Amino acid sequence: MVWMTAFHLGFDLAHFGWWRQDFLHDPFWTWQRTAIVSLFLLCVGLGQALAWRQGVPLTRFARRWAQIAGGALLVSAGSYLMFPRSFIHFGVLHGVAVMLLVARATADWRAWRLWLAGALALALPWLAGWTLGGPLAELAPAFNGRALNWLGLVTRKPFTEDYVPLFPWLGVVWWGLALGRWLLQRPSRPLAGPVAGFAVPLAWLGRHSLSYYLLHQPVLIGALVLVTWLVR
């Protein structure tokens, strides 16, 4: 969450012209985005491993899922106001909402199936790019369109401010689920232990991750708008 905030602060500074950076093409920034999203979705899988172990009821899962899906709609609406041509139609929260349903349905799979399914999910976009760019090129426009590009089987990325499709990212969630189940079987059970004192503030962010995610950008952007107005 802290890394994500720093990344978004840099993005916002570039957007308002305070800092010249290429967030779309510079590997320094694109690799950071990949790492942040990977950690985020790995934690989604770890969380579902804990929920499966604790027997979280469907009603509680459904309530949390509705909050995430609602947050995704808010992100789409807010991004449309700021970036009408490149608004977020399938970003992190949209992806999490879909992946949570899959993770819930597969939480009791054997570990080897989760690891294998994760590897296949990670490889699927590469395979799709090869087939849709060659033998099945006539199908590429359908998968590149907004109706299906949320699957991630595209030959060109959509023009949007955030894009976290089902594939390959479901593979990270599956691996997080497999890793979480493995850790919970260890004698020390690191996922179930007490939080170290220095990490208590970070744990608070983890417990309120959805609220923080939805609020941090409006706060950052609002602060930069105010500073820009005062300076200019």
pLDDT single digits (tens) 15-70:
888 999 999 899 999 999 999 999 999 999 999 999 999 999 999 999 999 999 99
HSE-CB for 155 with a 13 A CA cutoff:
15
At 214, is the pLDDT very low, low, confident or very high (cuts 50, 70, 90)?
Answer: very high
Please compute, for residue 53, the number of CA atoms within 13 A of its CA located in the half-sphere on the CB side.
18
Output the CA torsion sign for 204, 13, 89, 116. negative
The pLDDT assigned to 136 comes to 85
CA separation, residue 100 to residues 25, 134, 166, 215, 217 (Å):
30, 33, 11, 22, 24
Which pair of structure tokens corresponds to residue 107?
A: 């939480």
